[in-house]
Amino acid sequence: MGQMGELRHADSEALLGGLIRQGLLEKALDLAEEHRPNLYRITAAALAATRHPSLESLRAAIAASLAADAVDAQSSQSLAVRYTSSTRIP
């Protein structure tokens, strides 16, 4: 299972194949013979589906979303720590 499969906790070969068949991904580099992971890139159709005018715009939106998720996760963890440390069990 590759990196993407490890993140999804599932084999992603079928997912990647479907995205390629739908024209949303294309193989950028296939190094399977050298036991390296395949590299993929999104297509113009995928970029259009996201309604971003450029790849840079999409990357910025993804980065902002990931940063917001990290802040949310940190805030949730902080709240949990405060709750457990302030909760007393008789």
- The predicted pLDDT at position 79 comes to 55
Say whether both 43 and 70 belong to one domain: no
Say whether both 2 and 43 belong to one domain: yes
Count, residues in the chain: 90
- Residue 6: pLDDT band (50, 70, 90) is low
Say whether both 29 and 45 belong to one domain: yes
Say whether both 47 and 68 belong to one domain: no
Say whether both 45 and 63 belong to one domain: no
Tell which wins on pLDDT, 90 or 48. Answer: 48
Say whether both 1 and 35 belong to one domain: yes
Say whether both 3 and 44 belong to one domain: yes
Where helices occur in 22-54 by DSSP H, the ranges are: 44-50
Say whether both 4 and 40 belong to one domain: yes
Cα 88–89–90 angle (5° rounding)? Answer: 115
Say whether both 1 and 15 belong to one domain: yes
Inform me whether the pLDDT recorded for 90 exceeds 60: no
Please answer whether residues 37 and 2 qualify as being in contact, where contact means their C-beta atoms are separated by less than 8 angstroms. Answer: yes
Please answer whether residues 26 and 44 qualify as being in contact, where contact means their C-beta atoms are separated by less than 8 angstroms. Answer: no
Read off the amino acid at residue 77: Q
Number of alpha carbons in the 13 Å side-chain half-sphere of residue 2: 12
Average pLDDT, the chain: 77
Tell which wins on pLDDT, 2 or 59. Answer: 59
